[in-house]
Chain A
Amino acid sequence: DVKVTQSSRYLVKRTGEKVFLECVQDMDHENMFWYRQDPGLGLRLIYFSYDVKMKEKGDIPEGYSVSREKKERFSLILESASTNQTSMYLCASSFAGRAPREQFFGPGTRLTVL
């Protein structure tokens, strides 16, 4: 079974703190994704990566950055957390290429910024 794990299920941080969210997958997937999920808005893509050290902006990259130093690990960084970044963050991974590939999701990290 594909396994996507995230470093924390729940996280509480203060405004202005630097926040790291970690995601690890064990299926040798090329692609990895970070989404945030908010009620009524579905899932929105923040950033994705299709190879080590490669990244592309998604639909809402402002206030976030990412790092992918190893194929299995994809980190989301909030340089200076703000209250409007309180949300559920979901990581996903998939194989690359044109062939349709399902994305497999991690359990999510619920981040609260006070």
Chain B
Amino acid sequence: ELKVEQNPLFLSMQEGKNYTIYCNYSTTSDRLYWYRQDPGKSLESLFVLLSNGAVKQEGRLMASLDTKARLSTLHITAAVHDLSATYFCAVDMARETSGSRLTFGEGTQLTVNP
């Protein structure tokens, strides 16, 4: 059974600081997604990582994937209040017949304080 673990689960940081969220998973996969969820809202796709060594950046967020270590990271640079949200990683156990099937981590609730 695939397990996906994120840490930390709760993160309170100051504006301007850097931090990294970690996503570990238990089974071989070369496809991983990061999503953002604002309170009371649905999930919004942030990054799609498709191969070992993949790195994607959007604004102050950068995601990477190491399939050998079964680890993805989401790095936050110079945090701003607007980044406050819950971040989920999801591992894709794609199947030949039916396409992707995601297993989600527990989520990391990020609060950026002024």
Binding site for B on A (CB under 8 A): 30-31, 35, 40-45, 48, 50, 56, 58-59, 90, 92, 94-98, 100-108
Q: Quick one: which of A42, A50, A95, A103 has the most chain B CB within 10 A?
A: A42
The 10 A-B pairs of least Cβ separation, nearest first, read A50-B98, A96-B99, A42-B104, A43-B104, A105-B43, A105-B42, A42-B106, A100-B31, A107-B42, A102-B45
Given contacts A98-B94, A100-B50, 15 further A-B contacts (CB under 8 A): A31-B98, A31-B99, A40-B106, A43-B43, A43-B90, A44-B104, A45-B101, A56-B98, A92-B43, A94-B100, A98-B96, A98-B99, A103-B100, A103-B102, A104-B45
- CB within 8 Å: A-B pair count: 67
A30 (CB) vs chain B CBs: closest residue: B99
A49 (CB) vs chain B CBs: closest residue: B98
Chain A residues closer than 8 Å to B42, beta-carbon distance: 90, 105-108
Q: Are B107 and A42 in contact (CB under 8 A)?
A: yes
Q: Are A100 and B100 in contact (CB under 8 A)?
A: yes
Closest beta carbon of chain B to A3's beta carbon, Å: 11
Q: Are A90 and B99 in contact (CB under 8 A)?
A: no
Other-chain residue from A44, A95, A102, A104 in contact with B48 (beta carbon distance below 8 A): A102
Chain A residues closer than 8 Å to B68, beta-carbon distance: none
18 interchain pairs, CB-CB under 8 A: A31-B98, A31-B99, A35-B104, A42-B4, A42-B106, A43-B43, A44-B104, A48-B101, A50-B98, A50-B99, A90-B42, A90-B43, A98-B94, A98-B96, A100-B31, A103-B102, A104-B45, A107-B42
A9 (CB) vs chain B CBs: closest residue: B40
